[in-house]
Amino acid sequence: MSHPRSAPIAVVTGGAIRLGRQLCTALAARGYDLVILYRNSADAARELERQITASGRQARARVVDVGVETQVAEVFAEIARQEGRVDLLVNNVGNYNPQHITRLDPAVWDATLAANLSGAYYCCFHALRLMPSSGNIINIGMAGLEGARANVLGADYFVSKIGLLALTRSLAAAYAERNIRVNMVSPGQLDNSVDLPPPDEIGRTVPLGRAGALDEVAQAVAYLLDAAYVTGANIDVAGGYRL
């Protein structure tokens, strides 16, 4: 058992690569010690662990399939023993495997909902038991969740993110009395998007005319951590995409 520690503890799901990695690095720079949750990217997770540790913060990488509740329970029981608490949970896992709704495989539907929505709930459920007053949960959504739209490509993903927004607001209302804030940050097309249009075409769908940088998502997370009177909010970081 290694707690208590003085630094706040952040747990980031899907933290080893891409946006999750950027968020872990930014949170470490802000003074958090990290629990980096990953599923397949073990080498990248270990490398990030080393990088954050070398920067003077503590970091521990841990494998989990967030879609399996027993695994999530085990991870948070371990966090209770080792870190002792969770000050910030970032639910960053968001699998996007776009299929047309007319051909959407039920197995893909199940896997997407399990990872992106049930997984986020399992992590919230267990993290909240370890979260002190003034803790934070930040869920990573997708731009354009306000208002029910049609999404014929990737409906499973869209439904998981709409559900995550509803979960964000429900938890925000319920945990406000403990001064725990629950918010969402919703990227649009980031510069690592799998379906990014070419630079000369992006202005057709993104009014600001460019893809977003990963650090611009981290900036919104940083804002929410400072914004003590903001809860239940959803911030699009999307250059106006889907306005």
Q: Where do the H-state alpha helices sit in the chain?
A: 18-29, 42-54, 69-82, 106-112, 119-128, 155-175, 214-226
Look up residue 94 and give its two tokens: 């968001």
CB of 110 to ligand NAP, least distance (A): 12
| Catalytic residue, candidates 32, 38, 122, 157 | 157
Spatial separation of the C-alpha atoms in residues 114 and 116, rounded to whole Å: 6
Closest CA to 111 of 157, 75, 43, 44: 157
Kindly state the smallest distance separating residue 232's Cβ from ligand NAP, in Å: 19
Tell me the helix, strand and coil percentages in the chain, rounded to 5.
Answer: 45, 15, 40
The binding site for ligand NAP (CB under 6 A) comprises 13-14, 16-20, 38-41, 64-67, 92-96, 115, 119, 140, 142, 187, 189-190, 192-193
In this complex, which beta carbon is closest to ligand NAP, that of residue 8 or of residue 187?
A: 187
**C-beta of 34 vs 93, nearer to ligand NAP:** 93
Active site (annotated) includes residue 157: yes
Per the structure block, which two tokens stand in for 238? 């999307």
CA 104 from centre of chain = 25
The CB-of-192 to ligand NAP minimum distance in angstroms stands at 5
Residue 7 or 219 having the CB closest to ligand NAP: 219
Q: Which positions are annotated as active-site residues?
A: 157
